Amino acid sequence: MTLDDIKKVVVIGAGTMGQGIAQVSAMAGYSVLLYDLNEEALQNAVKRIEGNLDKGIARGKVSQLQKQESLDNISTTLDRNNLVGDIIVEAILEKLDIKQSLFAHLESINNDTTILASNTSSIPITRIAASLKRPERFVGMHFFNPAHIMKLVEVISGVATDEKVANMVYDLALKLGKQPVMASDAPGFIVNRVARHFYVEGLKVLEENVATLDGIDRLIESSGFKMGPFRLMDLIGVDSNFLVTKSMFEAFHYDSKFRPSRIQEQKVDAGHTGRKSGRGFYAYD
Active site residues: 121, 142, 154, 192
| Contact predicate 94/121, CB 8 Å | yes
* Continuous segment of H or E residues that includes residue 156: strand 152-157
| Separation CA 181–CA 197 (nearest Å) | 21
| Separation CA 32–CA 7 (nearest Å) | 9
User: What are the b/e assignments for 223-262, b being 16+ CB within 10 Å?
Assistant: eeeeebbbbbbbbbbbbbbbbbbbbbbebeeeeeebebbe
| Separation CA 110–CA 130 (nearest Å) | 18
Report the candidate in 120, 140, 147, 121 with the shortest Cα–Cα distance to residue 16.
147
Helices (H) and strands (E) in the chain, counts: 11, 8
β-partners of residue 261 are none
Helix (H, G, I), strand (E, B) or coil at 255: coil
| Contact predicate 127/161, CB 8 Å | no
| Contact predicate 64/25, CB 8 Å | no
| Contact predicate 141/16, CB 8 Å | no
| Contact predicate 84/233, CB 8 Å | no
